[in-house]
Amino acid sequence: MKKSLIAALAMALALPAAAQTLINGAGATFPYPLYSKWFAEYNKLQPDLRFNYQSIGSGGGIQQITNGTVDFGATDAPMNAEETARLPGALHIPTVLGAVVAIHNTPVEGLKLTPALLADIFLGKVVRWDDPAIAKVNAGLKLPATAITVAHRSDGSGTTYIFTDYLAKVSPAWKEKVGAGKSVKWPVGLGGKGNEGVTGLVKQTPGAIGYVELAYANQNKLSMAALQNRDGVFVSPSLEATSAAAAGVPMPADFKVSLTDPSGKTAWPIASFTYLLVKKDQTDPRKGEALVRFLWWAVHDGQKLAAPLDYAPLPPAVVAQVEKAIRTITVQGKPVGLAAAR
Amino acid sequence: MPLPADILPAAAVSARRGGNRGDRLYHAALQLLGGAVLAVAGLVLLELADVAAPAARRLGLGFLWRNDWDPVSGAFGALPFVYGTLVTSAVAIALALPVSVGLALFLSEMGPRRLRPVVSFAIEVLAAIPSVVYGLWGLFVLVPVLRDWVQPALARALGFLPLFQGPPIGLGYLAAGVILAVMILPTVTSVTIEVLRTVPASLREASLALGATRWEAIRMAVLPFGRAGIVGAALLGLGRALGETMAVTMVIGNSPEIHASLFAPGYSLPAVIANEFAEATGEVHLGALAALGLVLFGITVLLNGAARLLVAAVARGSARSAR
């Protein structure tokens, strides 16, 4: 009696585990809404495959895949030399693009900024909205006679990394004084936690300027400044302009590239990939193959789900290159048979 | 919260010696639990010290008084955060203590009996509000009020003091201090009420019988008797203010600088740890954050030690004056 009970219990516990494959991942918070959508949609196609994703931040994602506690990681910034040394056999698979935009709290519609102006504002060199330098690029617009209050992220974040990486490229003074990083020493301004914190500061402070992710700004209908790109064109932030950024940068085979300040007339200058990190040789046959097939799906069918959630899809040229990268992933040394490229 | 040791019930003390087997077992179990608390505190310290070690090697003791925080170039100093933590907590106590004592007196001595449960319920509700809600309220309600009304008024009236100079931006030490004051108000008030309840009725009656007014009775009999307890209540509130994270980070401005003016943005120890820990790059940055945790730990220990000494000193003083 007792034995049969235990046997029944064991079967009840073992059955779902045998029928279902669970793939664990952890990392960046920025793509989390899209990834959960992907996992849910993919689960409809492959009911015996489930994903569990913890959005703990890029740094945590890199750490967890390095320690082998998850099957894939996710990060907004490519791994640095120190991190690569600890996890040599990892591939960066770009999934979508994100952009960072400058939001402001002024009555000005259609505010335009040049890279030099943006850097000078965040350096504390330009401190008033009616500064002649701002007036020069905004001819015909009425600028308020108020002081500029700078708002930035106080928490370490990929958004800050992309933004400061851009400023360091376009302003030698920024590069020398501040540099690029997930947390930096801001010359001026107030810090808010998260996109919502920065938005709160900007909304609460007349004359404030801050930076947030494009997706967040779109969803909350914040007023964004147009920015002059490398080709000298003033571009308004949009998903198309973000995708165009990835086409304007020579793409290395490992995708570890900064997309900020790209060339291209329509490119938004502050854009970046977000990546999934997977080990080049998968040890678990079932999980490994499932993961490879999912990645293939994500860069093809999955891309159609990106725009409705305010993520910029990968441009076709990059998808072709990512296909090659996915084909190099092996499961216990053997490649996975994938459908021909579409 | 330091409690006088001599209020342990006599039975608990006698159980320590001999007694029957059940008592001894019970005693051993309690010892284990008590030891576990110490062990946890010790483990926390060890683990923090372990994570902080790379930063300690790189930065040395100068970390404690350096006024710099630059994760990109790897320069880290604790001073702006220590300063911000202490200043905001001091503002909080300065604002909360008079209000709390007044409230406690009203509730235990003066107020209409029927109103008391209503007010004490309201105070308990204040204590139950999550700190992130306080932070949001601070950002969206308090900060605009401070910026548009309070700070200009303070600057006009007391602008000659360096404390109240500079542009009124709302966010900063003052906003964080006010939020903290509201947050610690329930703690300080309810402990003070309990303290006032221990004042013997005979003291009040005696002073009233001698012809004192209500206010004189409170000032000369009730408050001196409860002084030690009120100081303890204030320090309990201070302890909470030092460690508060979420509400402070939302209104303090998160800028690691030192300013004399309360209007300026600053930063606090718990806020920077919460902000930067998840995405700290490199072991020195991570270590510096852990070291800030150790500093906060140290401040709390120092404060609790000082609290015990202070309560003991005040208790001696009030015993003398009550005699």
Give the three-class secondary structure for A256: coil
CA distance B50 to B276: 18
pLDDT tens profile A282-294: 999 999 999 999 9
Tell me what pLDDT residue B112 has: 85
A157 interaction partners in chain B (CB closer than 8 Å): 279
- The residue whose two tokens read 């300013």 is B259
Disruptive mutation site among A159, A202, A204 for chain B (greatest number of B CBs within 10 Å): A204
Residue A91 phi/psi, 5-degree rounding, is: -105, 140
Residue A231 has pLDDT above 60, yes or no: yes
> Cα angle vertex A37, ends A73, A64, to 5°?
15
Which residue, among A82, A155, A162, A176, would best test binding to B if mutated, counting the most B CBs under 10 Å from its CB? Answer: A155
If asked whether residues A177 and A300 sit together in one domain, one would say: no
Does A3 score more than 70 pLDDT? no
- Give the pLDDT of residue A143: 95
Q: Is B167 in Cβ contact with A182 (below 8 Å)?
A: no
Domain that residue A92 falls in: 18-97+273-335
Residue B323 pLDDT greater than 60, yes or no: no
List the domain boundaries for chain B. Answer: 7-57, 62-322
On chain B, the residues whose CB falls within 8 A of the CB of A204 are 139-140, 143-144, 170
The pair of structure tokens assigned to A23 is 């793939």
Query: Which chain A residues touch B275 with a CB distance below 8 Å?
Result: 154-156, 183, 191, 193
- Residue A5 located in a structural domain: no
Q: Which tens digits make up the pLDDT trace of B73-114?
A: 889 999 999 999 999 999 999 999 999 999 999 888 888 888
Closest CA to B62 of B78, B85, B51: B78
* A272, A258 Cβ separation under 8 angstroms: yes
Same domain, A186 and A104: yes
Task: Tell me: pLDDT of B16 over 60.
Answer: no
CA distance A74 to A59: 9
- Residues of chain B contacting A80 with CB distance shorter than 8 Å: 281
Q: Assess whether A130 and A247 both reside in one domain.
A: yes
A105 and chain B: CB distance < 8 Å anywhere?
Answer: no
Taking the CA of residue B275 and the nearest CA in chain A, the distance in Å comes to 4
How many residues are recorded in chain A? 342
Q: Which residue of B has its CA nearest to A188?
A: B255
Residue A342 lies in a domain: no
Residue A52 covered by a domain: yes
> Cβ B281–A156 below 8 Å, yes or no?
yes
Residues A109, A90 share a domain: no
What pLDDT digit, counting tens, does each position of A130-166 carry?
999 999 999 999 999 999 999 999 998 889 999 999 9
Residue owning tokens 């810090």:
A191
pLDDT tens digits, A18-59: 468 999 999 998 899 999 999 999 999 999 999 999 988 888
Query: Are residues A191 and B253, on separate chains, in Cβ contact within 8 Å?
Result: yes
Mean pLDDT of B147-161: 93
- Indicate if ipTM > 0.85: no
Q: Which residue of A has its CA nearest to B141?
A: A204
The answer, for A180 touching chain B at a CB cutoff of 8 Å, is yes
Using 50, 70 and 90 to split pLDDT, how confident is the model at A67? very high
What is the per-residue pLDDT for B319? 61
A195 & A326 share domain: no
Instruction: Give A184's contacts in chain B (Cβ within 8 Å).
Output: 70-72
Classify burial at A323, counting beta carbons within 10 Å of its beta carbon; exposed 0-12, middle 13-18, buried 19 or more. Answer: middle
Same domain, A229 and A145: yes
Check CB contact of A194 with chain B, cutoff 8 Å: no
pLDDT digits (tens, 9 = 90+) for A21-32: 999 999 998 899
Side-chain half-sphere CA neighbours of B136 within 13 A: 6
- A-B CB pairs within 8 A amount to 96
Domains contained in chain A, number:
2
Q: Is A91 left (phi over 0), alpha (psi -120 to 50) or beta?
A: beta
Query: What percentage of chain A exceeds 90 in pLDDT?
Result: 76
Q: Is the distance from CB of B201 to CB of B180 less than 8 angstroms? A: no
Residue A72 maps to a domain? yes
Asked if residue A292 is part of any domain, the answer here is yes
CA-nearest of A226, A224, A270 to A249 is A270
Question: Does residue A6 fall inside a structural domain?
Answer: no
In which band, very low, low, confident or very high, does the pLDDT at B2 lie, cut at 50, 70 and 90?
A: very low
Residues from chain A that touch B281, judged by Cβ atoms under 8 A, are 59, 80, 156, 181-183
State which amino acid sits at residue A143.
L
From A226, A247, A271, give the residue that closes a domain: A271
pLDDT at B292: 96
Report residue A8's pLDDT band, with 50, 70 and 90 as the boundaries.
low
| Torsion B58-B61-B62-B65 (CA) sign | positive
Count the helix, strand and coil residues of chain B and give each as a percent rounded to the nearest 5: 75, 0, 25
Q: B1 pLDDT exceeds 50?
A: no
Mutation target among B254, B259, B269 for the A interface, most CBs of A within 10 A: B254
Same-domain pairing of A230 and A280? no
What angle do the packed helices B223-243 and B79-105 form, to 10 degrees? 140
From chain B, the residues in CB contact with A186 under 8 A are 255
Asked whether the beta carbons of residue B250 and residue A149 sit closer than 8 angstroms, the reply is no
A266 with A290, same domain? no
Question: Span B197-210, mean pLDDT?
Answer: 90
Distance from CA of B162 to the nearest CA of A (A): 21
Residue A84 lies in a domain: yes
pLDDT of residue A108: 93
A149 and A190 part of one domain: yes
Confidence band for B316, pLDDT divided at 50, 70 and 90 = confident
Candidate from B68, B72, B276 with C-beta closest to A179: B72
Please give the pLDDT value at position A119.
97
d(CA A121, CA A149): 9
- Chain B CB contacts of A178 below 8 Å: 72
CB-based contact, A80 to chain B, within 8 Å: yes
| B233 or A18, greater pLDDT | B233
Task: Tell me the CA distances in angstroms from B153 to B165, B252, B263, one per residue in order.
Answer: 11, 20, 12
CB contact (8 A) between residue B279 and residue A200: no
Pair (A217, A145) in one structural domain: yes
**Which residue from B184, B181, B199, B193 is spatially nearest to B119, judged by alpha carbons?**
B193
Poorest-confidence range of A269-278, B16-25, B151-160? B16-25
pTM score, two decimals?
Answer: 0.85
Q: A128 and A92, same structural domain? A: no
User: Could you tell me the CA-to-CA distances from B179 to A269, B135, B241 in Å, in that order?
Assistant: 40, 8, 10
Please give the Cα distance from B41 to A255 (Å, whole number): 45
Least confident segment among A161-165, A296-300, A305-309, B227-231 = B227-231
Strands A72-75 and A271-279 turn out to be antiparallel
**Helix/strand/coil for A62:** helix
The pLDDT, as a whole number, for residue A316 is: 93
Residues B257-303 have pLDDT tens digits of 999 999 999 999 999 999 998 888 788 999 999 999 999 999 999 98
Whether CATH 1.10.3720.10 fits B62-322: yes
What is the Cα–Cα distance from B71 to A180, expressed in whole angstroms?
A: 10
DSSP H helices, A20-114, are 32-45, 58-67, 81-86
Beta-carbon separation of A56 and B278 below 8 A:
yes
Across the interface, whether the CB atoms of A190 and B271 are under 8 A apart is answered: no
In this prediction, residue A342 carries a pLDDT of: 42
Flag whether pLDDT at B11 surpasses 70: no
Asked if B140's CB is within 8 angstroms of A200's CB, the reply is: yes
Tens digits of residue pLDDT in B20-73: 888 999 999 999 999 999 999 999 999 999 999 999 999 999 999 999 999 988
pLDDT at A308 (0 to 100) = 93
Residues A184 and A90 in one domain: no
B279 and A56 in contact by Cβ < 8 A? no
* Residue B121: Cβ-neighbour burial (10 angstroms; 0-12, 13-18, 19+): exposed
In the numeric block, the tokens 């209020």 are attached to B7
